[in-house]
Amino acid sequence: MTTSLDAPATDGAAQPAAVPAAPSADDVTAQVLAVARRAKAASRALAVATRGAKDAALHALADALVAHADVIVAANAEDLERGRADGISNGLLDRLALTPARIEAIAGALREVAALPDPVGEVVRGSTLPNGLRMRQVRVPMGVVGMIYEARPNVTVDAVGLTLKSGNAVVLRGGSAAARSNAVIVDVLRAALEERGLPADLVQSVDAWGRAGGVALMHARGLVDVLVPRGGAGLIQTVVREATVPVIETGVGNVHVYVDATADPAVALPILLNAKTQRVGVCNAAETLLVHRAAADAFLPSALTALAEAGVTVHGDAATAAAAPAGVDVVPATDEDWATEYLSLDLAVRVVDDLDAALEHIRTWSSGHTEAIVTRDLAASERFVAEVDSAAVMVNASTRFTDGGQLGLGAEIGISTQKLHARGPMGLGELTTTKWVVHGDGHVRP
Residue 14 in any domain: the answer is no
* Mean pLDDT confidence for 54-77: 97
List the one residue out of 439, 434, 433, 435 whose CA is nearest residue 135. 439
Q: Taking the CA atoms of the chain, what radius of gyration do you get in angstroms?
A: 26
Burial of 252 (0-12, 13-18, 19+ CB in 10 A): buried
Question: Does residue 3 lie in a domain region?
Answer: no
Same domain for 113 and 95? yes
Within 13 Å of residue 436, how many CA atoms lie on the same side as its CB? 5
219 and 334 in a single domain? The answer is no
What is the C-alpha separation between 153 and 95, in angstroms, rounded?
A: 8
Number of residues written out for the chain = 446
Question: Tell me, what CATH number does 177's domain have?
Answer: 3.40.605.10
Residues 327 and 234 in one domain: no
pLDDT class of 15 with cuts at 50, 70, 90? very low
> CA separation (Å) from 131 to 125, 134, 435, 440?
18, 9, 21, 9
Confidence at residue 2, expressed as pLDDT on a 0 to 100 scale: 35
**Residue 286 sits in the same domain as residue 397:** yes
Give domain status of residue 394, yes or no: yes
Q: Which domain holds residue 44?
A: 25-248+423-437
Same domain as 393, residue 373: yes
Domain for residue 389, yes or no? yes
Residue 168 is assigned to a structural domain of this protein:
yes
Q: Check residues 155 and 1 and name the one with the higher pLDDT.
A: 155
CA nearest to 256, candidates 323, 349, 318: 349
Whether 170 and 203 share a structural domain: yes
Please tell me the predicted confidence (pLDDT) of residue 22.
67
Residue among 82, 20, 25, 72 at smallest CA distance from 209: 25
Residues 293 and 384 placed together within one structural domain of the fold: yes
CB 194 within 8 A of CB 223: no
Q: Give me the chain's average pLDDT, please.
A: 92
- Same domain for 233 and 267? no
Yes or no: say if 239 and 220 are a contact pair by the CB < 8 Å rule: no
pLDDT at 21: 58
Expressed in angstroms, the distance from the first to the final Cα of the chain is 88
Determine the pLDDT at residue 26: 86
> What is the identity of the amino acid at 7?
A
- The answer to whether 217 and 171 are in contact (CB under 8 A) is yes
- Please name the amino acid found at residue 123: V
- CA 5 – CA 14 distance, rounded (Å): 10
Residue type, 137: Q
Question: Is 266:325 a contact under the CB 8 Å cutoff?
Answer: no
Q: Which of 115, 205, 197, 126 is nearest to 411 (CA)?
A: 115
Task: For residue 295, give the nearest of 263, 255, 253, 339 by alpha carbon.
Answer: 263
Q: Are residues 115 and 242 in the same domain?
A: yes
pLDDT of residue 421: 83
Indicate whether 326 pLDDT > 80. yes
pLDDT score of 409 = 75
Looking at the fold, whether 284 and 370 belong to one and the same domain comes out as yes
Helix (H, G, I), strand (E, B) or coil at 144: strand
Q: How many structural domains are present in the chain?
A: 2
Long-range own/partner contacts, residues 396-399 (CB < 8 A, 24 or more apart): 396/267, 396/271, 397/271, 397/372, 398/271, 398/274, 398/275, 398/278, 398/372, 399/255, 399/257, 399/275, 399/284, 399/285, 399/286, 399/370, 399/371, 399/372
What band does 410 get if pLDDT is binned at 50, 70 and 90?
low
Question: Is a pLDDT exceeding 50 seen at residue 7?
Answer: no
What tens digit of pLDDT does each residue of 86-137 get? 998 887 888 899 999 999 999 998 999 999 999 999 999 999 999 999 999 9
Q: Is residue 367 part of a domain?
A: yes
Residue 32 lies in a domain: yes
What pLDDT, on the 0 to 100 scale, is given for residue 92? 81
Check which CATH number belongs to the domain holding 364 and give it: 3.40.309.10
What is the band of 33 on the pLDDT scale with cuts at 50, 70, 90?
very high
335-359 pLDDT, tens digit per residue, is 999 999 999 999 999 999 999 999 9
71: in domain:
yes
Please check whether residue 166 is in contact with residue 141, taking contact to mean a CB–CB distance below 8 angstroms. yes
Asked if the model's pLDDT at residue 440 lies above 70, the reply is yes
* Residues 73, 218 within the same domain: yes
pLDDT in tens, 262-308: 999 999 999 999 999 999 988 999 999 999 999 999 999 999 999 99
In the chain, % of residues over pLDDT 90: 80
pLDDT value at residue 5: 32
How much is the pLDDT for 8?
Answer: 34
Among residues of the chain, what percentage have pLDDT more than 70?
Answer: 95
One-letter amino acid identity for 51?
Answer: R
Same domain? 95 vs 166: yes
